[in-house]
Amino acid sequence: MPLGTIDRTPPPFFKQGPSALTRLMFFSALAFFLMVADTRLNITQPLRAVVATVLHPVQRSLLVPVTFMRNGGDYLRGLNEALAKEEAAQRQLSEQAQRVARVELLEQENARLRSLLGLRPAVPARTRAAEVLYDAPDPFSRKVVIDIGSTHGVARGSPVIDETGVLGQVTRVYPLTSEVTLLTDKDAVIPTLNTRTMARGVAYGDAANDAMELRFMATNADVQEGDVLSTSGVDGVFPPGLAVAKVVKVDRRADSAFAKIALAPVSSPASARHVLVLQPVGDQQPSRPQPEPAPAAAATPHPKKAGERR
């Protein structure tokens, strides 16, 4: 056989594509580009919404055994626990009866004072009930998923509360579900008001300790253990007067201009099942009136000079 007719190409078994290092660099660059584009341009938000809508029936079906076991456990706790809770509720109701009467009297007095001073009534908070489905699958954040979304009128940035106080804020909205960032998340920030001293501050989440921290307070600030912090309402998102956290430790360090103040949130994200989603206060404020046009200045006759004929 002539040598020119021999096929010198390697067999398919020895053919290789790009090297492993080339593929690693390409896919790393592609992943970095997608992360930056998603953070800056939100290009994957429609894809997330479609995937969340498609997977919603699967998620609900997978939650059926969990819900069945949870409800079965609640039922098997027995009648004694239910009777004990009822008795405790009756005692608490009797203890709070006098306080409720005083609160109603103060509300009536406040309404009369507002009408006398010509102030507009306080903006009512619009709420929508929701149920916590599960925790977000991100181990580095503190987030939960609720069962209502954009089709139910939920907007991004809406406050979320439970029966004890502020739980968090809606940070991502899908058609049928929403993602709520809890106050203990590392990126959570909420303006607060000390109910004892009426001093304003800013509370930050501390995900490492599953707690909160009141930052940028001077070492000589009037903050004590046991102080209760509520929402100040200056951010235009949270209504004022909602309970946020309680001061558990104040560390006044001599080597720093700011005190280290540890907080414990009043809400319990681990046991919260039913919550209320509020409409942001800024969306309920009346629109700012347009300024009236300034009246045109009247033309004034110029005085005639001396010697000029009239």
Q: What is the DSSP string of 199-229?
A: -EEEEEEETTTTEEEEEEEETTS---TT-EE
Within a domain: 238: yes
271-300 core/surface letters (b: 16 or more CB in 10 A; e: else): ebeebbbbbbbeeeeeeeeeeeeeeeeeee
Cross-strand pairs, 161: 166, 276
pLDDT at res. 58: 86
Tell me how many domains the chain contains: 1
74-104 core/surface letters (b: 16 or more CB in 10 A; e: else): eeeeeeeeeeeeeeeeeeeeeeeeeeeeeee
CA–CA separation, 278 and 180 (whole Å):
12
Within a domain: 186: yes
Range of the domain at 235: 127-283
pLDDT at res. 310: 44
Q: Which pTM was predicted?
A: 0.64
CA–CA separation, 276 and 161 (whole Å):
5
Within a domain: 72: no
Contact of 216 with 261, CB cutoff 8 Å: no
Find the CATH number of the domain harbouring 252.
Answer: 2.40.10.340
256: helix, strand or coil:
coil
117-151 core/surface letters (b: 16 or more CB in 10 A; e: else): eeeeeeeebeeeebebbeebeeeebbbbbbbbbee
Q: How do residues 132-172 score in pLDDT, each as one tens digit? A: 998 887 778 899 999 999 999 999 999 999 888 899 999 99
Within a domain: 97: no
CA–CA separation, 230 and 89 (whole Å):
25
Within a domain: 240: yes
Length, in residues, of the chain: 310
Within a domain: 41: no
Ranges in the chain, pLDDT < 70: 1-16, 73, 75-79, 116-125, 283-290, 292, 294-310
